[in-house]
Amino acid sequence: MPVFYGTEVASRLMLGTAQYPSPSVLTEAFRRSGAGIATVSLRREAAGGAEGAAFWDMIRDLGLPVLPNTAGCHSVREAVTTAHMAREYFGTDWIKLEVIGHADTLQPDPFGLLEAARILCADGFKVFPYTTEDGVLGGRLLDVGCEVLMPWGAPIGTGLGLNNLYGLRTLRAQFPEVPMVIDAGLGLPSQAARAMELGFDAVLLNTAVARAGDPAAMATGFARALEAGRLAYEADPMEPRDMAAPSTPLLGLAVLA
């Protein structure tokens, strides 16, 4: 199982807590998913309010490590401030760092992300940066203290899957010992299985489960796909080839007179 900042988690699935139609549906989806981490945005909380307290009680009842995120932050200052509030509220130094640079694609701002990561790592945070498949940026994030990389598969909430297989494969090969999580853009269990086959350590998703017609069933599908994909990766699969190759040997075939 993946290890993040020295902590081993129980599953390769990290699941978000937004957009579910009801608390009971959320709870059942998490139960069926076997998720190892629950991600939560501080912006869903109303500190000191009854609604926020009830939500936090429900998340605690899941019995999972919590990964707060800086969802929706568009500047370094906003992201850093949100991270400090999250650490105080949730009692963890883990933070999923988002610094959004483009309103339509929700692509990370590489310059703001790197600066915010530098500040937060220096302040003792264990940063999980939501980034692109850019290997140069990935290296810089590692240089400032990040020990995990979370490249997007596709823009958040699109369900398009792994848009840039070459870039993701190259990033994985460039930093083979670094834990990596595909974060955002997955819509189907088959896409999560593909991420595992490429050698990624986990996936983080929310919309694909929360907005499904049956979130609990979709959560189960993702859990099984992750297991299948990881097994395939560890089995050292055959390389694709351009020409057909017979699976039955030609030697020893019957000779017809």
Q: What is the DSSP string of the chain?
A: --EETTEE-S-SEEEE-SS-S-HHHHHHHHHHHT-SEEEEEGGG--TT-HHHHHHHHHHHHTT--EEEE-TT--SHHHHHHHHHHHHHHH--SEEEE--B--TTT--B-HHHHHHHHHHHHHTT-EEEEEE-S-HHHHHHHHHTT---BEE-SSSTT-----S-HHHHHHHHHHSTTS-BEEES---SHHHHHHHHHTT--EEEESHHHHTSSSHHHHHHHHHHHHHHHHHHHHT-PPPP-SS---SS-STTPPPP-
**Is 206 annotated as a binding-site member?**
yes
**Is 145 annotated as a binding-site member?**
no
| Cβ-contact 212, 21 below 8 angstroms | no
Active site residue ranges: 96
**Is 138 annotated as a binding-site member?**
no
Annotated binding site: 157, 184-185, 206-207
Annotated binding site for 1-deoxy-D-xylulose 5-phosphate: 157, 184-185, 206-207
